[in-house]
Amino acid sequence: MHSAHNATLPPQAAECLEEATGERCLAMQLDVRDAAAVDGVVLATLREFGRVDILVNAAAGNFLCPAESLSTNAFRTVMGTTRKAPHALDRR
């Protein structure tokens, strides 16, 4: 599962992993803050493989400003991406 802005990277990474390991890989792009999107990729993974062996959640977000300048909404966005999203993926 991948949330990068560059949509070509996940399929390329999956291809490289498949070549290196001889195992099938599934690359998906989503907004990890969207619970329905998280459910969708988890269900797609379970349909494809029956289980999740490895989960790489590399989603991140930040605002380049001093902490005291960060708005409440910006703070929620960062926390939603870096803290709440991994929890949502792990518990499914």
In whole angstroms, give the CA distance from residue 62 to residue 41. Answer: 24
Residue 7 has pLDDT above 70, yes or no: no
**92 band by pLDDT with thresholds 50, 70 and 90:** low
pLDDT tens sequence across 20-74: 999 888 888 888 888 888 889 889 989 999 988 877 777 777 788 898 898 999 9
What pLDDT sits at residue 6? 54
Two tokens at 68?
Answer: 């005291």
Q: Which amino acid would we find at residue 82? A: T
What pLDDT sits at residue 76? 86
What pLDDT sits at residue 47? 93
Q: Which domains does the chain have, with CATH numbers?
A: 9-91 (3.40.50.720)
2 bridge partner residues: 29
What pLDDT sits at residue 8? 63
What are the Cα distances from residue 36, in Å, to 44, 72, 76?
A: 12, 24, 18
With 0.85 as the threshold, say if the pTM is over it.
Answer: no
